[in-house]
Chain A
Amino acid sequence: MSTPEASTSTPRPPKPAKQAKPPSQSSSTGTGDAPKAKSAKELKKEKRAAAVASRGPVDDPSDPRSSTGPESATTNKNRPSGNSTTPASASHPTLSLPNSSQSRRPPILTSTSEYTVNTPQNLFFSHLPTHRPPQTPAALVSAKLPPLIVRLGVLMSSGTLRGANARTMATMAAFAEVVREYTCPDQAVLWKDLPVYLSPMIAFLEDCRPKGVGGGNAIRWLKGEINRLGELGDRTDAEQKEYLVEAIGVYIRDRIEYADKVIADNAKEKIKPGNTVVTYARSSVVERVILEAWRDMRSKDPSASFSVIVVDSRPLNEGKHLLSALKSAGVPCTYTLLPLLSAVLPGTNLVLLGASALHSDGALYSRAGTAVVAMLAKECRVPVMACVETYKFGERVVLDAVASNELGDAEALLDIPVKGLGLGKGGKDGVLPLSLTYDLTPPALITVVCTEIGFIPPSSVPTVLGKASGVA
């Protein structure tokens, strides 16, 4: 176990130890741009390597489940060793590249084998990123990331912060804070240096939890915005920072908050008195739509009412939160689990779905189980309305939910309310719990997409994308 660690850490460049001011160190080399970029890249590699090293014992097939146990021990061991080697290996940063790329390979192989090793079922979903706790000590100490970002990463990774909107808003707000705190080094240009400064944070957050299409769009927009600073020309750093912070605020407001408001205004028209609305898991937009529709209907006619069927599924059971939110607002609710949905669906009028992303072929990428709901709704001829902000529209097309997905916390799957069914807390050899976080609803199952620019068919996503490039 110690050998791979040593091999990854010995040629490591000096960066991790003295990360505090990398720009000053590299500013001597003319442009001051390329080395800085490299340092950022290396930082990423560094973190990868640290992550790999910490997961080292997983490579040992004889001990499949030991990963969580010795993890903290290895990270601790890893960090000092990295520090100690820094003065020795100050020579060529490029030398570390082949090594770290080598060391980057194991996580791909081992990522799914955190559970069981050498069983064929591992291979089916081995390409998907695995849920694992973030490398907080490495991020804080060696990478010197702002605590704000690390905290955000932990929140996202643990699932405390969930939902594309919440995560994107939190990320953007955190970046606004980071920009405000940021001081551009003397010889550097802000719009060139800031992306380099931000990129390890982005990488760290990505490592904690893939940011998804919406988050990706937001960050791409932010980078574009920083680039535009260069075009705008004469401004002091303070002004530029001011501009960015404000722009981020506007982005959050326009693309998410106002968008949700408009969507709620649009969608609530589709809920009529006496209707029964079905929704799955919890989406902030859907919750808002239902609550506003309820308020609206009640203010017009206090006797009018509609009811909501909250469909839920393990392991997250997010529907419970929606249920309590709706209940406290006084909305009549029915709660059921996904497999039981077909019993109640025939009498309903509308299925409301939230989304993580809407791909450009019109496929809805959303919480696992959404496709099942849409499919059953189609079977029962109930219209399906997806509520999606346009910032979640993705250029990409994925063919199915296996191609790109996230693996959730499989451990939670083994914890069931019914006792004595065979699998204990730790699981069982030969049984691999697998929790996919998302699934893909084909466009054919979606009747209409409700966005802040109105109701559109799922096929119109590319059109909107073409137009949206001009939108702030």
Chain B
Amino acid sequence: MVSQILLKPSDPNAKLTEALITSLRRREIVGSRNVALATAAVVQNIVRSVKFTTIEELIGLIKGVGRRLVDANPKELAAGNIIRRILRLIREEYSAAVQAHLSTTPSAPGTPDLGPETPGLHAPQNHYLSFMTDLAFSTPGSGPSSSLPLQRQTSLSNFVAMRHSRAQAQMERAGSALDLSAATSSLFTSPGRSDSADGRWSNTNLAGLSSRRGSDDFGKQAGRLKPVLVQAIDEVVNELETTHEDVAKGAKEHIHSSEVILTLGHSKTVEAFLKQAYRDRKFTVIVAESAPSYLGHSMASSLSASGIPVLLIPDSAVHAVMPRTTKLILGAHTVLANGGLFALAGALAAALAAKAHAKPVVVTTGQFKFAPAWNLYHEYGAADLQSPGAVLGFDGDGSVDGVEGVVPYYEYIRPELVNLFVTNEGDHSPSYIYRIIKEAYDDVDVEL
């Protein structure tokens, strides 16, 4: 059993986590970017202060926090996304460190020198894990026939990794299978544990790798990686903070002069996008006010402060003004792997109207909103409902007694209704989103 470290209740980090969980549960913190930033901050604090000896302890701890955050608000997928992203980076850093360590200590007994043979091992993304998988299954010495029993994915980049692992497995078999410590070999001889759906297997393998590698117990010194890991999370935070600017970078390529652009609510990404575009192009924006939050009003106010001419319309006029508009630009709450998205309630109507009038629908979003969820149940149950007070009002005169009010935050938009995703890392069509998600997160983290 992998040793699991837990945050003590007295730990300030535990309190931080609790606070975030509470505010997520109470919807005090809303907006995927805010949630993402808060999550990153909490995780960074944990990494900075917690004492861990092996990397899997840390990963286990972060995953535990991630699970709790996701449970606190299952509709807020950004928390999970950031956890996945950070885990991914931690593994990457660790793997790089392992590589560096191995190449500097080539004489360690029973340790194949991977350094010269695997020049690109830590550069591309998905190798690392598939490499681990193959290794895990081939090392028990079940013979050359089973050298590659499990291939989780076959992509071009994986072929390289597979070759490495095969070569390595052969070397292991040839020389040093005996060097496996009792603990790790017992792990390896129980393939049932290596179920890819089980999130823990990679940790055990990491443990196996580190303890197997190095009599100097490199794995036990994972704590030394702390500064690197903190820095890695810093990168995530930076990426989050500059998302709006990065998304807006290509704005003028998507907006031509004298356009009439429809948007709704107040997406900060869309706002930055439009403001950036207005530096080069002159256009008009129609903002739907988006009841019951009426965020469209603040959007209109903010855009007009930058000199952009704005028409403010009620939500009911979305279809009526559509012939006048040239483009619909939406912000996203979450982008799913199938290219569909959750967006502010009202967006579906706008997207459908745009489709009916053959106007392009552009979604501007940071990639941290891309969630590895393929088919979220997007019927009634997926609606994240809020208090009906905003709609019905608390008149106190009993005029609304016995009346049910339904007030969801978000709604689902099919991928077919979207023409383009403009992200901080390039523009993509909905059909390509799954690929970006594959590349951004490790498969083992899909289930936190």
Contacts and interface: CB of A to CB of B under 8 A. Distances in A.
B408 A422 contact: no
Interface in A346-391: 346-347, 367-369, 371-372, 375-376, 379
A363 B307 CA distance: 38
Given A372-B319, A438-B320, A342 B312 contact: no
B190 interface: no
A329 B27 CA distance: 37
The interface centre, meaning the residue of B286, B300, B344, B399 with most chain A CB atoms within 10 A of its CB, is: B300
B37 interface: no
Contacts of A405: 320
Interface in B265-306: 284, 286, 288-295, 297-298, 300-302, 304-305
Interface in B301-327: 301-302, 304-305, 307-324
Given A376-B348, A417-B393, A423 B317 contact: no
A124 B324 contact: yes
A17 interface: no
B349 A401 contact: no
A402 interface: yes
Interface stretch (A144-152, A156-164, A194-202, A426-434): A426-434
Nearest to B309: A121
Contacts of A368: 314, 316-317, 319-320
Given A314-B315, A401-B319, A439-B317, A342 B297 contact: no
Contact of B304 (A342, A367, A428, A438): A428
Given A119-B309, A400-B323, A338 B403 contact: no
B340 interface: no
A423 B348 contact: no
Contacts of B293: 418
A342 B290 CA distance: 14
Contacts of B297: 414, 416, 418, 421-423
B314 A413 contact: yes
A430 B403 contact: no
Given A401-B320, A413-B314, A428 B301 contact: yes
Contact of A376 (B320, B349, B390, B408): B349
A120 interface: yes
Contact of B314 (A119, A327, A344, A435): A435
A392 B231 CA distance: 69
A332 B290 CA distance: 27
Contacts of A125: 324
B310 A372 contact: no
Interface string B248-265: 000000000000100010
Contacts of B313: 413, 433-436
Contacts of A421: 294-295, 297-298, 301
Nearest to B282: A120
B406 A436 contact: no
B295 to A, nearest CB: 7
A342 B316 contact: no
A246 to B, nearest CB: 40
B383 interface: yes
Given A124-B260, A327-B403, A375 B319 contact: yes
A218 interface: no
Nearest to A336: B406
A337 B291 CA distance: 7
A379 B355 CA distance: 12
B316 to A, nearest CB: 3
A315 B315 CA distance: 9
Contacts of A369: 314-317, 319
A379 B305 CA distance: 37
A440 interface: yes
B426 to A, nearest CB: 30
B309 A335 contact: no
A335 B284 contact: no
Contacts of A434: 286, 311-313, 317, 321
B356 A442 contact: yes
B411 interface: yes
The interface centre, meaning the residue of B293, B392, B406 with most chain A CB atoms within 10 A of its CB, is: B406
Given A327-B403, A418-B294, A342 B349 contact: yes
Interface in B377-404: 379-380, 383, 385, 388, 390-393, 399-404
Size class of A's contact patch? Answer: 35 or more
Nearest to A323: B403
B141 interface: no
A414 B294 CA distance: 10
B129 interface: no
Interface in A230-265: none
B405 interface: yes
A333 B403 CA distance: 5
Contacts of B304: 428-431
A133 B427 CA distance: 50
A335 B392 contact: yes
Contact of A334 (B298, B324, B406): B406
B353 interface: yes
B407 interface: yes
Contacts of B322: 400
B437 interface: no
A236 B314 CA distance: 54
The interface centre, meaning the residue of A336, A367, A402, A413 with most chain B CB atoms within 10 A of its CB, is: A336
A313 interface: yes
Contacts of B379: 346
A342 B311 contact: no
A338 B264 CA distance: 13
Nearest to A367: B316
Contacts of A417: 292, 294, 390, 393
B347 to A, nearest CB: 8
B345 interface: yes
Contacts of A376: 348-349, 352
Interface string B401-419: 1111111100100000000
B346 interface: yes
A309 B316 CA distance: 17
A125 B393 CA distance: 33
Contacts of A315: 314
Given A121-B311, A313-B315, A340-B391, A416 B403 contact: no
B419 to A, nearest CB: 18
Contacts of B321: 401-402, 434, 436
A434 B287 CA distance: 10
Interface string A105-139: 00000000000000111001100000000000000
A335 B292 contact: no
The interface centre, meaning the residue of B295, B313, B356 with most chain A CB atoms within 10 A of its CB, is: B313
A379 B402 contact: no
Given A340-B391, A342-B349, A422-B302, A432 B319 contact: no
A324 interface: yes
Contacts of B393: 417
Contacts of B407: 336-337, 340
B308 A430 contact: yes
15 contacts: A120-B309, A121-B284, A121-B309, A332-B402, A335-B403, A336-B391, A339-B264, A340-B391, A342-B349, A369-B315, A421-B301, A430-B304, A433-B313, A434-B286, A435-B317
Q: What 6 pairs between A and B have smallest CB-CB spacing?
A: A422-B301, A339-B346, A369-B316, A430-B304, A439-B320, A401-B320
Given A431-B301, A432-B311, 12 more contacts: A124-B260, A324-B399, A336-B407, A339-B345, A369-B317, A375-B356, A401-B320, A416-B297, A417-B390, A423-B300, A428-B301, A442-B356
